[in-house]
């Protein structure tokens, strides 16, 4: 992936999502419809698929079936372990900082919510953010800067939600969501760097979304420390990768 592809992806993504989500905001504000009615919900979901739709238009036309297969099902050896590492870190962080399970989140609700979050309300975005944008940026700038850029863009992509009356995102300040998004982009970015697997990123994104609903969130030092530690783990893994590449290049030169 290159910058030209990333720009094309971003234009399509924002065009689809912003038309839909700002459209929902206007419908809810100026008609008798409310968020949750059938028409606003359908339009909202279409907007939610902006990154996925844009990704499918950005992987190239030449030999499309092969490219699509590689895009969706690539996997680097041992990638699963890095996925499990970040699952463990974020689960401990949220669980220990809260210590209070949401009583409405039964085992069945958790499973249903996870499926929905993977394929409709979050995970499907990873086809674009990690499948297109992250690789393109990583070729031009370092991993921490690429993850930070992805997080800022991702936050701006979500901005219309704070103008849709009744949307759940309005329960928290935009800056909190943006900060969480930036952290998440570091974790997802390293999972993708180490696994090259979009489905794992989809699963992790969906899992984090449901995890945050499964516990009663409490802003305390454990939550902050855990998120910073998890992000530091991503940066440290990138530094190890960088050192390994330098060592291999030096060995090749010799």
CA angle 157, 75, 88 (to 5 degrees): 70
Average pLDDT over residues 37-54: 97
Which of these, 86, 96, 122, 88, lies nearest to 224 by C-alpha position?
A: 96
The pLDDT, as a whole number, for residue 249 is: 72
- How far is residue 150 CA from its own chain's centroid? 9
The pLDDT, as a whole number, for residue 18 is: 98
Alpha-carbon gap, residue 18 to 30, rounded angstroms? 18
Average pLDDT over residues 58-73: 90
Average pLDDT over residues 233-246: 90
For residue range 93-131, what is the model confidence (pLDDT) as tens digits? 999 999 999 999 999 999 999 999 999 999 999 999 999
> Using alpha carbons only, how large is the chain's radius of gyration in Å?
19
Which of these, 46, 44, 71, 47, lies nearest to 57 by C-alpha position?
A: 71
How do the domains of the chain map onto residue ranges? 76-253
The pLDDT, as a whole number, for residue 242 is: 87
Model confidence at 251, in pLDDT bands (50, 70, 90)?
low
């Amino acid at each position: 992936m290159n910058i030209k592809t990333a720009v094309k992806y971003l234009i399509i993504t924002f065009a689809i999502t912003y038309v839909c989500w700002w459209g929902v905001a206007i419908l809810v504000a100026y008609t008798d419809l409310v968020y949750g009615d059938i028409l606003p919900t359908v339009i909202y979901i279409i907007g939610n698929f902006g990154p996925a739709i844009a990704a499918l238009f950005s992987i190239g036309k030449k030999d499309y079936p092969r490219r699509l297969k590689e895009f969706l099902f690539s996997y680097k050896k041992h990638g699963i372990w890095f996925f499990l590492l970040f699952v463990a870190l974020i689960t401990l962080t949220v669980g220990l900082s809260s210590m209070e399970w949401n009583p409405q989140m039964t085992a069945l609700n958790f499973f249903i919510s996870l499926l929905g979050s993977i394929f409709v309300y979050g995970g499907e975005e990873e086809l674009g953010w990690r499948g297109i944008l992250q690789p393109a940026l990583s070729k031009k700038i370092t991993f921490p800067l690429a993850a930070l850029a992805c997080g800022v863009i991702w936050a701006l992509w979500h901005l219309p939600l704070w103008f849709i009356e009744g949307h759940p995102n309005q329960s928290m300040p935009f800056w909190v969501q943006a900060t969480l998004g930036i952290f998440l982009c570091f974790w997802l970015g390293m999972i993708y760097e180490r696994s090259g697997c979009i489905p794992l990123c989809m699963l992790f994104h969906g899992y984090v979304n449901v995890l945050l609903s499964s516990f009663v969130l409490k802003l305390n030092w454990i939550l902050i420390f855990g998120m910073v530690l998890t992000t530091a783990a991503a940066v440290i893994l990138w530094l190890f990768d960088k050192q390994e590449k330098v060592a291999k290049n030096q060995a090749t030169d010799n």
